[in-house]
Amino acid sequence: MITDKHVFITGGAGFIGSTLAGLLVERNRVTIFDNLDRNTLASAPFRDHPNLKLIEGDVLDAEALKRACAGADLFVHAAAIAGIDTTLRDPVRTLTVNLIGTANALEAAMTCDGLERFLEFSTSEVFGSRAWQVDERVSAVVGAVGEARWTYAVSKLAGEHLSAAYHRQHGLPTVTVRPFNVYGPGQLGEGAVTIMVRKALRDEDVLVFGDGTQIRAWCYVDDMVEALWRALTEPRAVGESFNIGNARAVTTIYGLAQTVCRVVGSRSRIVFRPALSADIELRVPSVDKARELLGFEAKVDLEEGIDRTARWIRDNLEKFPEMPGIFRSNG
Ligand SMILES: NC(=O)c1ccc[n+]([C@@H]2O[C@H](COP(=O)([O-])OP(=O)(O)OC[C@H]3O[C@@H](n4cnc5c(N)ncnc54)[C@H](O)[C@@H]3O)[C@@H](O)[C@H]2O)c1
């Protein structure tokens, strides 16, 4: 575990960033830098913790970012335009924030004396539409130009290359993680589990886009965050990238809808709709590298994770009435 560090987290008010902040805040100083586009932190029990500082700012503001990260030991760059539906609505902002924001974060990190780690987030989307037990040596797929979905993957892939270049050329201690479909308490963006649970809790129709045979592996957020602190502390992680996911929690999208309805005890109908964008047919990671170098193993099974997510959504529905109602892709 991490103790007595100053941890700087861009996007730390978001789903994964705030879960990490919650894990670290008792024993470290945590500074969150976020423009509060999304704000899971607002409902977090630790939001007023004396070790936590929130700076409202935009990663496109390079100077503000440099000022904010001064004195950081560990730099986590989680700020991004994330979620496929958001990408489809605003591919320009997706590319701008994810590309330029990451470039600004890397430049800011270069000004931190004695920085021990710069951790940045790529995505499993870089493996394209068919990715069966993909490991880190598999070539990335950039998709067709003009298909908005792939702007997210391309922006993240460019961020990976940029981080690797800062490591190679400037010796910055970078590490990249590629999350595979993370879900859990605190997710306000358009994750399929979150949206299905929300609908199921209200007995509304649970929508499946396409034929429902698309396959995903679902990673509970606590497992994701365990991988993060391991990547922030393990010396052999420097200069590496890691697939992070739960290769055992695999289901089709139709199977996911059925599981959600059963676990939640819902009377919802499962309703099929035509696919509205390019989709991922198959995505299951190999996490052998993370297991070997980081000692990481996902622990939370899908049903347990869905149950915990449903409890959180039940408790927080009123705080987040704007939680996603849209759901055009399958996460
Ligand atoms: N959740 C997943 O399944 C998943 C999968 C692959 C990759 N990722 C990556 O993990 C990281 C965290 O994702 P998340 O699920 O927590 O998403 P999230 O949307 O909940 O968090 C992102 C945070 O970034 C902030 N942000 C957005 N634009 C900003 C800007 N211009 N300046 C400052 N802050 C800004 C938002 O307000 C939000 O708090 C992202 O980089 C995302 O691309 C997530």
Per-residue confidence (pLDDT) for residue 49, from 0 to 100: 98
| pLDDT confidence of residue 280 | 86
pLDDT score at 83: 86
Alpha carbon of 79 to ligand 1 centroid (Å)? 5
Q: Residue 323 has what pLDDT? A: 58
What pTM did the predictor assign?
A: 0.96
> Do 128 and 25 fall into the same domain?
yes
Q: Is 152 a catalytic residue?
A: yes
Question: What CATH number corresponds to the domain at position 146?
Answer: 3.40.50.720
Which of 125, 27, 13, 42 minimizes the C-alpha distance to 74? Answer: 27
pLDDT at residue 331, as a whole number: 55
Residue 177 corresponds to which tokens in the numbers above? 């993680």
Is residue 46 domain-shared with residue 123, that is, in the same domain?
yes
Same domain, 42 and 162: yes
Does some domain include residue 327?
Answer: no
Ligand 1 lined by 82 (C-beta under 6 Å): yes
**Residue 59 Cβ contacting ligand 1 at under 6 Å:** yes
Q: Is residue 111 part of a domain?
A: yes
Q: For residue 302, give its domain range.
A: 183-217+248-283+292-316
Cα-to-centroid distance, 156 and ligand 1 (Å): 11
Please report whether residue 331 resides in a domain.
no
**70 and 86 share one domain:** yes
Instruction: Specify burial of residue 31 (Cβ count, 10 A radius: 0-12, 13-18, 19+).
Output: buried
Mean pLDDT, 10 residues at a time, the chain of 331 residues: 96 98 98 97 96 98 98 98 90 97 98 98 92 91 89 96 98 98 93 94 94 96 98 98 97 98 97 87 95 98 98 85 52 55
The total number of structural domains that make up the chain: 2
Same domain flag for 174 and 268: no
Per-residue pLDDT at 93 = 97
| Of 242, 267, 260, the residue nearest 307 (C-alpha) | 260
